[in-house]
Amino acid sequence: MQIKLLAVFAFVLLGLVVLLIRISFITVTEGNTYARKVLSQQSYDSQTIPYRRGEIQDRNGVTLAKSDLYYNMILDCAIINSDSDYLEPTLTALEEVYGLDTDKLRTLILDEETASSRYQIIQKRMTRAETERLDAYVNEDFSDQNLSEEERGELLEERSNVQGVWFDAFYERSYPYDSLASNVVGFANDEDTGVVGIENYYNSMLNGTNGRIYGYLNSDLEYEKTTIEPEHGYTLVTTLDMNIQEIVEKYIAEFDEEYGTEDSDYKGAANVGVVVMDPNSGEILAMACNSSFDLNDPYDMSSLYSGAEIKAMDNTTYVDALNDMWSNFCVSESYEPGSVFKPITVASALECGAVHDGDAFYCGGNLLITDTVINCDNIYGHGDETLEYAIVNSCNVALMTISARMGISNFLYYQNVFNFGYQTGIDLPGETPGVVYDKSGMNEVELATCSFGQGFTVSMVQEITAFSTVINGGYYYQPHVVRQVLDSEGTEVKSIEPLVLKQPVSSSVSSLVRQYLTTAVQKGTGQKSQVPGYLTGGKTGTAEKIDLEPGSSTLGQRATGKYLVSFIGACPMDDPQVVIYVVVDEPNVDQQADSSYAQILFRKIATEVFPYMDLYPTEEVTQELLWKLGLTEDDVVKGGSRASATFQCFDSYGTLHNDAYVNTDGEIVDGDGNVIEGCYINDEGHVVDAYGNVIDVTIDIDTTTEEVAENPNIASPPNESAAASADDTTVWSGVTDEDLEDAGEDE
């Protein structure tokens, strides 16, 4: 009863002040509206109940992003000062329940500056259980204690005088797997605004609407509360599989570790990107690049820059560096794809009838297109070859001949149908459409150049979606990363079914190209990608990059020694269930033109992903294949990389190692990969241990790099894509200064 009266009293006091200013007329019938309006001025009586931002889960329901409920303890000094009986019992309560320093609190409550404050945060980020301890204290009834009526009454009154303390609820976003899939999941700032990734693309769906508790006086002047429940945000079930994502990220990190140096910011290549797709649905199973970051601490760039470097950055450089780190290479960057585009040219040529299975071609090492000589990778020529071997040999001359037969109109038609030059519409922000020629810009030289994947740019998601189409029977599925939307109770609101947008090529064309790609891996340029036991197929790419360094003497030219190497492959080739695309952009090595960097990364990832996906080995694993790949039988299950079988040898300290082997760098190492001292490989290629024992072991180190002819004069991509400029979709261009201010680092 006393509380009710107090509420009335507080209400009247405040009401008098506020209402005189704010409300011009009041009628009896509008009493409730009036009360509600007044009380909404008070944080104490009109409290926001925050909504919970929805979770982001992987395809199996593993939580990748979540929001947890916490409370800040708030002191309403005005309430406490409204009655001299409140101060001491309230201080006692805070000391007894939470051990707070009463002197400090007393100063805060009585100080001229804060005495009328209604909102002083005195304890942060408390759990619900912690807040309930105060409720229990206030509501203690002492009936279990042996007290006189008088004593008990005094205690009850004291507890009822604990006033002006309340708990302000809020949700805190966190990411249980830290940096896992960071460039895809993205993060939200403290105001629940998604800054990058899924958090950004689906921002409004993840967010909800706040609820509110209103206190008001009913017609009998009784204090009542009404509650409007918050509407929580939707939970998104993504297409990602965190196990596959972890495998992919493990090998990207291993690559960075192997080839990274201080000068390269510890990256093994300027960019490494990997996308894993289900070709029969367009679902992205994993997507990663080598610029991941901690989603729980997204402004931390210490893995890339020293403290001094970060301090020296001006605002623009700082923002650019953050955007670079957060950017999703697989979606937001475009580059010339190189030979991984050849299967798409061949499929298009088969579909429009320009070529047929079994057609014969001749490669003399180069081809004169109007006035430009364009080289094949094999400058001595591949000689006579069938359409299949145009792919198997990755022959530029055959591809140029094929595209000439198609003609410019047909070539551009298929480029368009396969969505090059347009966004795929993947549900991620910042998708680049790439740049392609239109009819007015394309002549014979550009056509020839584009046939083997140079002279236009693509994103990884464009290439893997088009490749999946070519091998899955010809169906172009919309690529996507979210498969299901759930409400806060876990009930399905929407299911995102695989969506076939078009069928660019027939199933018979698809089946022929699958056969060509299988041969390319078994007998052609893709042999290092082979996954022992599995029927894989795929295509290598080694694209000569154009120098874009401002002020460089070779600006705008090719043949600068910079390459983007790649491999795209699928399994099993009689009914592909998974496609993996690996891009290694400017590997941090002397000779960049070697697609084996991408092939070996593909093989290591696939060796773990295939069994995880319940794909069963169907092919015999021969010793010959293992030697060719520099693997042991052990590695077939582990995905490692060795140049010899294991053997016994002594080191210079006389220790016998039972599991020594020669690694692919030609070093003699123990089972943990540590170099064994005192052992070497003699001139005859035999291992000699520290005691001079010659060990009979076959070593197979393939140090030859692919021969890649330079083509300094072939067509560059157009400056602006005709297709893209006709597309009015807004292209995201990273965060701005403003976003950063909004993001406001904690406190």
Which residues would be at the binding site for Zn ion (CB under 5 A)?
Answer: 363, 376, 382, 395, 397
Output the smallest distance, CB 709 to Zn ion, in A: 9
Residue 236: closest CA among 290, 188, 178: 188
Say which residues have a Cβ less than 8 Å from residue 481's Cβ, sequence separation at least 6.
184, 198, 238, 239, 240, 283, 284, 287, 426, 427, 428
Output the smallest distance, CB 746 to Zn ion, in A: 59
Q: Terminus-to-terminus CA distance in the chain, angstroms?
A: 41
Q: Which one, 384 or 633, has the nearer CB to Zn ion?
A: 384
How far apart are alpha carbons 243 and 277 in whole angstroms? 14
Output the smallest distance, CB 400 to Zn ion, in A: 9
Q: 362 phi and psi, to 5 degrees?
A: -130, 130
Q: Residue 645 CB: number of other CB atoms within 10 A?
A: 17
Q: Which one, 77 or 363, has the nearer CB to Zn ion?
A: 363
How far apart are alpha carbons 518 and 535 in whole angstroms? 7
Q: Residue 718 CB: number of other CB atoms within 10 A?
A: 20
Output the smallest distance, CB 340 to Zn ion, in A: 17
Q: Which one, 355 or 436, has the nearer CB to Zn ion?
A: 355
Tokens coding 107: 């100063």
Question: Residue 173, SS3?
Answer: strand
How far apart are alpha carbons 609 and 614 in whole angstroms? 9
What's CA 703's distance to the chain center, in Å?
Answer: 34
Q: 681 phi and psi, to 5 degrees?
A: -105, 125
How far apart are alpha carbons 74 and 93 in whole angstroms? 14
Q: Transcribe 239-268 into DSSP letters.
A: S--HHHHHHHHHHHHHHHHHH--GGGTT-S
Q: Which one, 192 or 377, has the nearer CB to Zn ion?
A: 377
Output the smallest distance, CB 420 to Zn ion, in A: 24
Element (H, E) at 347: helix 342-351
Output the smallest distance, CB 395 to Zn ion, in A: 3
Q: Which amino acid is at 705?
A: T
DSSP state of 742: H
Strands (DSSP E) contained in 345-406 are 360-363, 366-369, 372-375, 383-386
How far apart are alpha carbons 660 and 648 in whole angstroms? 6
Output the smallest distance, CB 314 to Zn ion, in A: 50
Q: Which one, 397 or 520, has the nearer CB to Zn ion?
A: 397
Q: Which amino acid is at 43?
A: S
Q: Which one, 82 or 378, has the nearer CB to Zn ion?
A: 378
Tokens coding 236: 């998104």
Output the smallest distance, CB 364 to Zn ion, in A: 8
Continuous H helices in 111-194: 128-138, 149-160, 182-185
Tokens coding 165: 């303390």
Q: Which one, 7 or 593, has the nearer CB to Zn ion?
A: 593
Q: Which one, 244 or 355, has the nearer CB to Zn ion?
A: 355
Output the smallest distance, CB 522 to Zn ion, in A: 19
Residue 647: closest CA among 657, 639, 638: 657
Count of alpha carbons within 13 Å of 203, Cβ hemisphere only? 14
Q: Which one, 105 or 708, has the nearer CB to Zn ion?
A: 708
Output the smallest distance, CB 704 to Zn ion, in A: 18
Output the smallest distance, CB 339 to Zn ion, in A: 11
Output the smallest distance, CB 457 to Zn ion, in A: 24
Q: 399 phi and psi, to 5 degrees?
A: -65, -40
Q: Which one, 383 or 640, has the nearer CB to Zn ion?
A: 383
Q: Which one, 397 or 464, has the nearer CB to Zn ion?
A: 397
Q: Which one, 363 or 486, has the nearer CB to Zn ion?
A: 363
Output the smallest distance, CB 390 to Zn ion, in A: 8
Q: What is the 3-state secondary structure (H, E, C) of 588-635?
A: CCCCCCCCHHHHHHHHHHHHHHHHHCCCCCCCCCCHHHHHHHCCCHHH
Q: Which one, 269 or 395, has the nearer CB to Zn ion?
A: 395
